[in-house]
Amino acid sequence: MARYERHIFVCTNERPAGHPRGCCKARGAEALRDALKAEVHHLGLSTIVRVNNAGCLDACESGPVVVIYPEGIWYGKATAADAAEIAEKTIMNGEVIQRLLISGEKFAPDRLQFPFLVKPSEGNT
């Protein structure tokens, strides 16, 4: 088992107000991060899943941006209201939520031939 079965990076980068690219922080990234952390805790996955702050992930126009490894699943324009679904479908079961995927070929997950399930270990819930 690796350190984390899934590792979720949420861009919380901040740019000055009025910057042409905007920033994930101004688009609600911190609320999304906090909601994902709460869901992971609620599901009893804290020892095998981590939600991390990240710097700019270079997909600012789709912010808030989230990337989930090891699969490399890129979600954009996610909100705190999406956190429970992300946790239950993607983090627990490796299921991709199509409506949250950032569009464009370069963002397409391509390692999903090896999905794996995350299950809380005993005593972990």
Residue type, 93: N
Tell me if 115 contacts its own copies by CB under 8 A.
no
Tell me if 77 contacts its own copies by CB under 8 A.
no
Candidate residues 40, 45, 67, 118; the one interacting with its own copies per rule CB under 8 A: 67
Candidate residues 8, 40, 74, 82; the one interacting with its own copies per rule CB under 8 A: 74
Nearest approach, Cβ of residue 41 and its own copies (Å): 14
- Following DSSP, what letter does each residue of 3-52 receive, concatenated? S-SEEEEEE-----TT-TT--TGGGTHHHHHHHHHHHHHHTT-TTTEEEE
As given in the structure block, the two tokens for residue 71 are 């699969």
Rule CB under 8 A: which residues touch its own copies? 1-4, 7, 9, 12, 50, 52-58, 67, 69-72, 74, 106-111, 114
